[in-house]
Amino acid sequence: MASLFPAHSSLQNILITFTTIIFLASSSSSATPETNQRRPFNKIYAFGDSFTDTGNTESLTGPNGFVHVSNPPYGTTFFHHPTNRYSDGRLVIDFVAQSLSLPFLPPYRNSKANKTHGVNFAVAGSTAINHEFFVRNNLSLDITPESIDTQMIWFNKYLESQGCRDSEPGSDQCREAFDDALFWVGEIGVNDYAYTLGSTVSGDTIRKLAIYGFTEFLQTLLKKGAKYVVVESLPTTGCLPLAMTLAPSDDRDDIGCVKSVNNQTSAHNLVLQSKLSELRQQFPQAVIVYADYWNAYRTVMENPAKYGMKERFKACCGTGGDPYNFDVFNTCGSPSVTACSDPHEYINWDGVHLTEAMYKVVADMFVDGNLSNPPFKTLLERRLRKP
Ligand SMILES: *[C@@H]1O[C@H](CO)[C@@H](O)[C@H](O)[C@H]1NC(C)=O
Ligand SMILES: *[C@@H]1O[C@H](CO)[C@@H](O)[C@H](O)[C@H]1NC(C)=O
Ligand SMILES: *[C@@H]1O[C@H](CO)[C@@H](O)[C@H](O)[C@H]1NC(C)=O
Ligand SMILES: *[C@@H]1O[C@H](CO)[C@@H](O)[C@H](O)[C@H]1NC(C)=O
């Protein structure tokens, strides 16, 4: 593998500069991110799927229907060009990095990026269950072969490149890699259910296997030495235009979303929370935060105007017009598909992924609001008490 620390790519320079400017503009002190001694974390490691991926998709064909993430108008609102993020701008993980005065996380696959302040291992299309399971059940379609296991393999390679080996967990290199790091484990599991839609594999089977694989993953991170871990729940995927388009029109819940799908993600989240309780007992030295994506999304659906939103169900970038503006065979980024002119008034960007505006609302609820348990503030306080 090429050196992890070659000169910045120009994109990286621009991004880091931009972050610095934003930080300066929004801070009363004159410290830059590089010199700010009060910055609680020196780095973030992120994991997950397309909701968290900041560019690992590049050069892949990507999941069916979303092969166009490298084309405009992806990125139109913030970066002003596509960055292989599945949105018009920043994702939750980008807002988290900014709130911690850290630069945007480079994707693991960008070997040229400066990874001093963290790495993003999240990759679109990935699953909590090992890819082999989908192959065995003839459900692999054309979809990316990455699972959360792949992300662990990448993380291990990264650690080795830093001189941190499993055989010497107490080494300076391992302490350097873990002690001041925030682990942001983005939502993963939505794809597991999506890939098995219409198959003979039941939702219960997926839930059991996905939670099992995901818990193993978290346990491995914690055993290696992760101390500050945020785990996002599954969102209310029954509110996505994709789900609304596919489900019968009488399958609806009290907020107008697909009842069976929201029930499935809710059931998944209940089991996930009980697993997190077990992990907290098993690893008392770690802070494990549950970031409640399900209720964050639901809160905005219940009162969109409070968050400056008007369109709850309609994709900003898509085709077909009302009510969902979504056609799975002609998705955002295809040559003939255009975006709305006011994405900040939309929850949904492309039928599956959310707008920058929505990601900002969700990030604020996790970081400053009351949808993290224990509150994110508690994690920061624990961190700041350590040398
Ligand atoms: C990477 O970034 C860090 C912190 O911003 C900086 O100190 C270091 O010099 C950079 N490395 C390279 C090779 O540019
Ligand atoms: C998968 O497809 C192969 C070839 O078409 C078939 O032999 C096999 O039984 C299928 N497996 C399952 C689990 O459906
Ligand atoms: C979901 O549906 C199942 C039955 O299909 C039911 O037992 C369960 O209580 C429901 N869960 C929620 C959260 O509505
Ligand atoms: C969470 O915060 C929101 C607004 O910030 C408030 O309306 C809501 O009542 C709070 N919920 C709880 C459980 O404290």
Distance in angstroms (rounded) separating the CA atoms of residues 119 and 113:
9
Instruction: Output the residue whose Cα is nearest ligand 4's atom 5.
Output: 369
Q: Cβ atoms within 10 A of the Cβ of 38, count?
A: 8
CA end-to-end span of the chain: 34
5 C-beta closer than 6 A to ligand 1: yes
Report if residue 163 sits inside a domain: yes
Task: Flag whether 338 is in a domain.
Answer: no
Q: Can you tell me the distance from the alpha carbon of 291 to that of 308, in angstroms, rounded to the nearest whole number?
A: 22
Q: What is the pTM of this model?
A: 0.88
Fill in the amino acid letter for 180: D
Q: In angstroms, what is the span from residue 174 Cα to ligand 2's centroid?
A: 45
Indicate whether 379 belongs to any domain.
Answer: yes
**pLDDT tens digits along 252-302:** 999 999 999 999 999 999 999 999 999 999 999 999 999 999 999 999 999
**Quick check: 219 pLDDT over 90?**
yes
Of 158, 222, 191, 174, nearest in space to 52 by CA: 191
| Residues 340, 363: Cα–Cα separation, whole Å | 23
- The reply to whether 200 falls in a domain is yes
* Helix (H) / strand (E) containing 261: helix 259-282
The phi, psi pair for 124, rounded to 5°, reads -60, 145
Is residue 82's pLDDT more than 80?
A: yes
CA angle (245, 246, 248) in 5-degree steps: 95
pLDDT given at position 57: 85
> Looking at ligand 2, which residue's alpha carbon is closest to its atom 6?
138
The dihedral of CA 340, 343, 348, 350: what is its sign? positive
Across the strands, what pairs with 311? 346
Q: Is 282 in the pocket of ligand 1 (CB under 6 A)?
A: no
Specify the pLDDT at position 75.
97
Q: Is residue 355 part of a domain?
A: no
319 domain-assigned: no
Residue owning the nearest CA to atom 2 of ligand 2: 138
Q: What is the pLDDT of residues 343-376, one digit of tens each?
A: 999 999 999 999 999 999 999 999 999 999 999 9
Residue 32 domain flag: no
Is pLDDT at 26 greater than 80 in this prediction?
no
**Position in ligand 2 atom list of the atom nearest CA 138:** 1
Count the helix, strand and coil residues of the chain and give each as a percent rounded to the nearest 5: 40, 10, 50
pLDDT of residue 272: 98
**Alpha carbon 131 to its chain's center:** 19
- CATH no. for residue 108? 3.40.50
In whole angstroms, what is the distance from residue 166 CA to residue 86 CA? 34
How many independent structural domains does the chain possess? 1
Q: How does DSSP classify residue 107?
A: B
Catalytic residue list: 50, 350, 353
Please work out whether the CB of residue 271 comes within 6 Å of at least one atom of ligand 3: no
**Who has greater pLDDT, 83 or 32?**
83
Report if residue 255 sits inside a domain. Answer: yes
The C-alpha atoms of residue 109 and residue 119 are separated, in whole angstroms, by 9
Range of the domain at 107: 39-294+362-385
For the chain, the average pLDDT equals: 88
What is the band of 387 on the pLDDT scale with cuts at 50, 70, 90? low
